[in-house]
Amino acid sequence: MAKGEPTKATVGEALRALDARARRMEAEARRERDARARDRDALARVTESVDALAATFREAMEAISCDHDAWTRERREIKAAVEVAARAATTAATRAEARERDAERARAEALAIDARVSEGLRYVKDVRDEFVAVERVIQEAKERTRELEARDVARARAVEEFERRARAADALLRDEIETVRACSLHAETAASKAEEIGGLASDVRELAKWSKETAAHQNRRLAALERETSHEGGDKENGAARRKGELATSVKATELALKAQQTRLTALEEKSALRARRDAAVKADVDVVKRALGEHHDLLAKIRDTLDTELGPEATLGPASSAFARFR
């Protein structure tokens, strides 16, 4: 985290410091009130002293009627005592006024501090709400990322399974191609053995070479073979018919194998197209996630810049949210 950013700990320390200062100001205000009370008590005592002096003065006035000299001396003493008491009362009143002014200033400062503390608490609450919102967004982004990672893992497993099946299908296709080749070789061998049947060998070689022709063409070839062999007799006819049946069975098996091979090739092409579409979808999802993460990062950067601007370069507070731990 950059230096100067607020944390929960520093915010708490600042709030505790402000609370302690407010308590000190309240204690000072209480002391000022106690001092004013003491001053009032002192003023009351001075007043009582003045009253006592007045009583003494009255007694002295009564006494001076008897003794003028003693009255003069006592008058001077009383005058001095009254002056001292007056000066003490004036000093006490001045001090009381000064203490009252100090108390007023202290109350004004306490009110200003209380207003600043309230404003700081409101600001801290707003910042905390923003941090909670940012943490919620980051948590949602993490959950979305975990979901996407799980989807990626599932897609990877599906792709591996598809590749495994494709390899198995390719191996099966190779086996079937070998089977087709073996059937073709068998057909060629059968054709070489059927040279005594006129025209059958060339038809069989043509059928083996062009085994992808339609079933109608093969049926016409077989019908021609049947018509050709129908004029033969005895054992030769039976052997030719048997060889013809074997050849027809081999050709049919070859045709079916080639059709199955064509079907599997078509299925593999469809699976390849589906895989390409899935890969495109995965790439699109990854792009969406990247854009979303970029937007979240931009949002966090803007919030951090806003906090830096509002707190100022000399601020000692910093966010304590775990969402900002990655910036430390």
Average pLDDT estimate for 219-242? 59
Report d(CA 92, CA 213) in Å as an integer: 131
Question: Per residue in 14-27, pLDDT tens?
Answer: 788 888 888 888 88
Residue 211: its H or E element: none
Question: Per residue in 266-278, pLDDT tens?
Answer: 776 787 678 778 7
Share of the chain above pLDDT 90, in %: 0
- Residue 242: pLDDT over 50: yes
- Residue 202: pLDDT over 60: no
Average pLDDT estimate for 202-214? 52
Q: What is the pLDDT of residue 186?
A: 60
Q: Which residue type is seen at 138? A: I
Longest dimension (CA), the chain: 194
Report d(CA 310, CA 306) in Å as an integer: 6
The structure tokens listed for 160 are 């591996």
pTM of the full structure: 0.24
Q: What is the pLDDT of residue 88?
A: 81
| DSSP secondary structure letters along 48-65 | HHHHHHHHHHHHHHHHHT
Average pLDDT estimate for 38-46? 83
Could you give the count of Cα atoms lying within 13 Å of 292 in the half-sphere of its Cβ?
Answer: 15
- Residue 3: pLDDT over 80: no
Question: Per residue in 152-201, pLDDT tens?
Answer: 888 788 778 767 776 776 676 567 567 656 655 665 565 555 455 445 44
Lowest-pLDDT range, 174-178, 237-241, 271-275, 313-317? 313-317
Average pLDDT estimate for 18-46? 84
Average pLDDT estimate for 303-310? 62
